[in-house]
Chains A and B, each alone.
Chain A
């Protein structure tokens, strides 16, 4: 079975440019999560969706970040305009159910470098 699929795997962009990260969750999973990982801050939850509806976006750093889930098989995380401090690995993950007892399945990440 295909896991969580993210694209692009690597992106280098210039400050001020728009960045769009894409995610296809595991089919049948009701929850989708966007995490960001940096050395300094570790793994941070940015936003999560349940049945395509955003539930909690309190982790989104600022208005430059936005996320959408137009259907059950696709989500995007957009940064506009990008800044060097946005450089990080962005992970999309999905799970069948919510709550602490459920396994979260991660994609391989999108490595973003903003210069």
Chain B
């Protein structure tokens, strides 16, 4: 079963705009990760945020985590056409089990 659910399923924006994607999860977590998948490629790790962190930055990426609402958001600022990809959140439902991924948000950045 899915642990994380991304929202929206698809997002289309103009180059230069900001893109926000959300992730909700079901159980308590130690941390949450975001991955990107370009068309026809494997997933690539973007950023990890720990449960005791509320916000984390990496370049044009900003991730927030609200453990009380069991939700996270990924913000990409000043988007570029090269940001066009699917974005996934991933968590561990319990213990030492592997990451479980959501179905992702498909982001299209139009030049």
Chain A interfacial positions (CB closer than 8 Å to B): 4, 31, 33, 35, 42-43, 45, 48, 56, 91, 93, 98-101, 103-109
Nearest CB of B to A99, in Å: 5
Can you name the residue of chain A whose Cβ is closest to the Cβ of B100?
A: A45
A105 contact set on B, CB distance < 8 A: 45
Q: Is the pair B88, A43 in contact by a Cβ cutoff of 8 Å?
A: yes
Q: Is the pair B31, A101 in contact by a Cβ cutoff of 8 Å?
A: yes
A/B interface sample: 30 pairs, CB < 8 A: A4-B42, A33-B98, A42-B101, A42-B102, A43-B43, A43-B88, A43-B101, A43-B104, A45-B98, A56-B97, A91-B43, A93-B42, A98-B96, A98-B98, A99-B92, A100-B29, A100-B30, A100-B33, A100-B92, A101-B30, A101-B48, A101-B50, A103-B45, A103-B48, A104-B43, A104-B99, A106-B43, A108-B42, A109-B40, A109-B42
Interface centre among A31, A56, A106, by most chain B C-beta atoms within 10 angstroms, is A106
Nearest CB of A to B43, in Å: 5
Q: Is the pair A42, B2 in contact by a Cβ cutoff of 8 Å?
A: yes
A104→B31 CA distance, assembly (Å): 14
| Contact residues of A: prevailing secondary structure | strand
Contact (A42, B103) CB under 8 Å given A56-B97, A100-B30, A101-B31: yes
A109 contact set on B, CB distance < 8 A: 40-42
A28→B100 CA distance, assembly (Å): 23
